[in-house]
């Protein structure tokens, strides 16, 4: 036994070691000498823990949800504005507003509409006012589209050459003409639908109107929708 061997190593332990060696069975079986096991945890704590474990529902791992075909909604297709625009072009091509009839229409790529013609007061403005009332987003070369400096220069030129018309070469060099030219080019570049109301009053040619027709419809264009 390890205890006996250790006792024999110490001074005066030989006698006690011999006694232990003879009586070790009695020592082991004697209940008075058995150590009492101490509970490491209070029994009440154990009961509470057991009760909590029993009442706590078990958590089940849910498998990853895969959407079924019925649950997957395809992305809504974009609104096809070309149908609405095409209808607008067809209506404008044969329309009459303010007593003025559209001669031809250049179809654009959006819902913006511009009107050109030989006379602003007798053709362009009456048609524009009527088409705006019908819900069209109409623009003309007038109002805030004309810079104040261009308007002032044009007034000066009219006074200078009155009662004769301003010479065409002077017109083409004026700021008013250049602004009108830039506006017409904008209509083309930005995809406006352009309505040409023509020259219902039978007036003589105008450098402004001729330039607009050249940019927007091309030389030698005829009535009808220009695609």
Q: What is the CA radius of gyration of the chain?
A: 51
**Mean pLDDT calculated for residue range 155-160:** 98
- Cα 186 from Cα 190, distance rounded (Å): 6
Segment 62-95, tens digit of pLDDT: 555 555 544 444 443 343 343 345 556 778 888 9
- Cα 226 from Cα 56, distance rounded (Å): 78
Q: Which residue has the tokens 């089940």?
A: 60
C-beta of residue 115 within 8 angstroms of C-beta of residue 136: no
C-beta of residue 113 within 8 angstroms of C-beta of residue 136: yes
- Cα 110 from Cα 152, distance rounded (Å): 33
Burial of 166 (0-12, 13-18, 19+ CB in 10 A): middle
Confidence of residue 200 (pLDDT cuts 50, 70, 90): very high
Q: Which residue has the tokens 């220069």?
A: 153
- Cα 30 from Cα 34, distance rounded (Å): 7
If you average pLDDT over each of 7-21, 43-57, 125-139, which comes out highest? 125-139
Q: In this structure, what DSSP letter does residue 36 have?
A: P
Q: Where are the domains of the chain?
A: 2-55, 81-226
User: Which range is least confidently modeled, 7-21, 63-77, 132-146, 164-178?
Assistant: 63-77
> Helix, strand, coil proportions of the chain in percent (round to 5)?
50, 10, 40
- Cα 192 from Cα 79, distance rounded (Å): 19
CB atoms within 10 A of CB 3: 12
**Mean pLDDT calculated for residue range 179-193:** 97
């Amino acid at each position: 036994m390890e205890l006996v061997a250790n006792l024999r190593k110490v001074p005066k332990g030989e006698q006690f070691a011999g006694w232990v060696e003879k009586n070790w069975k009695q020592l082991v079986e004697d209940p008075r000498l058995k150590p009492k096991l101490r509970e490491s945890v209070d029994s009440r704590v154990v009961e509470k823990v057991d009760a909590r474990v029993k009442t706590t529902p078990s958590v089940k791992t849910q498998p990853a949800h895969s959407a079924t075909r019925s649950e997957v909604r395809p992305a809504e297709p974009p609104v096809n504005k070309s149908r609405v625009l095409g209808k607008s072009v067809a209506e404008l091509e044969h329309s009459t507003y303010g007593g003025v009839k559209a001669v031809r229409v250049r179809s654009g790529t959006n819902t913006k509409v511009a009107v050109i013609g030989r006379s602003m007061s007798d053709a362009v403005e009456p048609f524009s006012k009527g088409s705006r009332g019908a819900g069209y987003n109409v623009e003309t070369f007038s109002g805030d589209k004309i810079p104040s400096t261009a308007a002032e220069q044009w007034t000066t030129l009219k006074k200078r050459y009155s009662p004769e018309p301003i010479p065409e070469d002077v017109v083409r060099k004026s700021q008013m003409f250049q602004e009108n030219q830039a506006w017409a080019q904008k209509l083309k570049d930005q995809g406006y639908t352009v309505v040409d109301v023509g020259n219902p009053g039978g007036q003589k040619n105008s450098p402004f109107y001729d330039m607009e027709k050249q940019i927007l419809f091309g030389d030698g264009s005829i009535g009808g929708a220009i695609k």
